[in-house]
Structure 1
Amino acid sequence: MLELIHNDHKNLAILIQLLRERHAALVEKGEVNYSLIRDVVDYMQEYADKYHHKVEDVVYDYYLTHKCQQSSEGNKLSVEHKKLELNTDELRTMLDMILNDCVIPLDQFADKLGEFIAMQQAHMDYEEQHILPELAAVMTKDDWQAVADKFPVCPGATLEEAKATAQRLDPLFGQQVAEQYKDLAKRLQTRNECVSV
């Protein structure tokens, strides 16, 4: 299960880097590809916010309930996930307005995009540096199976079934690219990123 979360983070890092490059082009040259940015934000809203973070919440809730002696931070991940979801919604709303010909000042959009990138990166860094190593150190195979039993999309699945389901569900980096992400997948493929079209 940790492998799935870490793999999602690698994929999300690819998209964050793409956004970082688009943000730099926007700030330095005033160049912006709103459709490309919208596709990335849409993926992060549809997959990361609605699936990936839910899996992390189940894992972390199990950890807090069964493995953690004390936690001064409580369920920090769940709170962060809600903040990320709100930030993603705000950016997506702004993108939709722009793509529907509403006038939004370029600097306002650049600021919101920069905030989005920074929040996403800080969150992933926190998980990779603090949460995932702690989980790897204390969770047993039985613990991971107990987590798989609560897997959001296939409760009661074996660990292997949960992993297979996760690979099928990813609409961009999974086994099959969803129609709405084909252009983004092609863009990533030209960058030699790991996406099969």
Structure 2
Amino acid sequence: MEALRIIEDEHQSLAAILHAVRYMLKEIGKGTLAPDFRLLRAMVHYLDAYPEQRHHPKEDQYLFARLKLRTDEGAEAMARLEQEHAGGQTRIKALETALHQYASGDKDGFDTFTRAFENFADFYRSHMLLEEREILPLCRKYFTDEDWEAVAAGFRENNDPMGGTRDTEDFQRIFSRLVAAAPPPIGLGAGPYRDD
């Protein structure tokens, strides 16, 4: 089903960025990689601009709202997910603040940013697992073909972040630069991130 493919692809894109940042922080902590703050800022920007600003609203509007029309099953999980969606800006602000401290040379900046990022990544892992293990199976159980088409149409409104969007932000360009700048094995290691 196209709708499920889009949702799963978007989750995989997010997981890839989380993995990339986690890997980079591990290497920075070991002293084998110098911090590239422009790259880290670009990755944090992506985490806000796509998952928080585009993906979550689509889930609320097209997936959860439609599932609520079909069944009460999973209501507690959906309420938790919607509450987590509502807290997105608080999570992003904590991450941005920690990155700013790190980039400004705060003596505990690296550890602070690493903790903030690990909290963020752990949250998203749990969040996506709840969606994939509880909500998507309920959608498979209760949705009609018309429901699936409506969800797919809603999710197509903003293309996969790694394939670009119709909005002003070109996520394909951002992602290409992240891959080029990130060290192997997550990227090509071609040099520092450039946003030109």
TM-score (norm 2): 0.74
Q: Which has the higher contact order (CA 8 A, sep 6+)?
A: 2
Matched, 1:19 2:21: yes
C-alpha displacement at 1:68, in angstroms? 1.6
Structure 2 unaligned regions, length at least 5? 188-196
Matched, 1:108 2:112: yes
- In 2: Cα distance, 1:22 partner to 1:88 partner: 19
Q: Percent of aligned pairs with the same residue? A: 22
What is the identity, as a one-letter code, of the residue corresponding to 2:79? N
RMSD: 2.9
Give the counterpart letter for 1:40 in structure 2.
M
5 Å-filtered alignment, 1:38-49, equals 38-49=41-52
Residue 184 (structure 1) aligned with residue 178 (structure 2)? yes
Matched, 1:174 2:154: no
Letter in 2 for 1:35: R
- Measured after TM superposition, the shift of residue 48 of structure 1 is 0.8
Letter in 2 for 1:16: L
In the alignment, which residue of structure 2 is the partner of 1:165? 157
Instruction: Indicate if the aligned counterparts of 1:49 and 1:81 stay in contact, CA closer than 8 A.
Output: yes
Match in the other structure for 2:64: 60
Q: Match for residue 136 of structure 2? A: 132
For 1:75 and 1:187, the matched residues in 2 are separated by 39
Going from structure 1 to structure 2, the CA distance change for 1:28 and 1:131 (only over 3 Å counts) comes to farther
Cα gap change, 1:147/1:78 in structure 2, threshold over 3 Å: closer, same or farther? same
Runs of at least 5 residues in structure 1 that lack an aligned partner in the other structure:
149-158
Residue of structure 2 aligned with 1:91, choices 92, 95, 102:
95
Hey, what's the Cα distance between the residues in 1 that align with 2:32 and 2:88? 26
Q: CA 1:23–1:185 in structure 2 vs 1: closer, same or farther (change >3 Å)?
A: closer
How big is the shift at 1:82?
2.2
Aligned residues: 177
In 2: Cα distance, 1:73 partner to 1:192 partner: 33
- Give the Cα separation in 2 of the matches to 1:140 and 1:191: 42
Contact 2:70 2:142 in 1 (8 A): yes
Indicate whether 1:50 and 2:44 are aligned.
Answer: no
Is the contact between residue 16 and residue 117 of structure 1 (CA under 8 Å) also seen in structure 2?
A: yes
The answer to whether the 8 A contact 2:64-2:78 is kept is: no
Instruction: Compute the TM-score of the two structures, normalised by the length of structure 1.
Output: 0.74
